[in-house]
Amino acid sequence: TGKSTLAQTIAEWCERIRFLGASFFCAREGERSNVQLIFTSVAYQLSLRSQAFKEAVISAMMENPNIHTSVAARQLLKLIVEPLRAAGKELRSCAIVIDALDECNDTEAVSVILKALSLHVAELGPLKFLITSRPVPNVDAGFRQKALLDNTQQFPLSRIPSNMTRRDIAYFLR
């Protein structure tokens, strides 16, 4: 339905206006299928935007040398939430694009990424997440958690009327 195209377009637009904080494009195979790389990659990319954030990430890695193998909730806390606190207003509002979450190797009943985000959603202030996925059970279950229900908006591409889709494709091709 075009979820990856949408995510790529939004990431490129955010990059042009200097609003993209980080992106992670999941894939069915290879490193990009490893759910444990999402928050570590996001933390690295955010550290390029703020020296205070970067120093807090380095400190977290020194204190937790195996953080890259920790569960997603701990990675989010130590590599993103706590560095956000340390950076304060130095790290401005930005977008985090995570595409094709359903393609990651995540066999939990609820996506570990969404479960982690639900635990810390109130502390992610300046970060605006765009997450794309097919409607698969563990991702759907993640978005049904109360913390995420209260703080997210869903936009199912399958509900876009086909006449609008055809118009947009024709416009793009012209």
Residue 109 has pLDDT above 80, yes or no: no
Q: Which of 42-46, 109-113, 124-128, 170-174 holds the top average pLDDT?
A: 42-46
Per the prediction, the chain carries an average pLDDT of 91
pLDDT at 170: 73
Residue 144 has pLDDT above 80, yes or no: yes
pTM across the whole model: 0.88
Are 113 and 98 a contacting pair, CB within 8 Å?
yes
Q: Which of 24-33, 76-85, 107-116, 136-145 holds the top average pLDDT?
A: 76-85
E-assigned strand segments in 11-113: 20-25, 94-99
| Alpha-carbon distances of 81 from 26, 56, 76, 135, 147, rounded to whole Å | 22, 10, 6, 27, 16
Residue 48 has pLDDT above 90, yes or no: yes
By percentage, how much of the chain surpasses pLDDT 70? 97
| Torsion sign across C-alpha atoms 4, 9, 11, 12 | positive
pLDDT category at 112 given cuts 50, 70, 90 is: very high
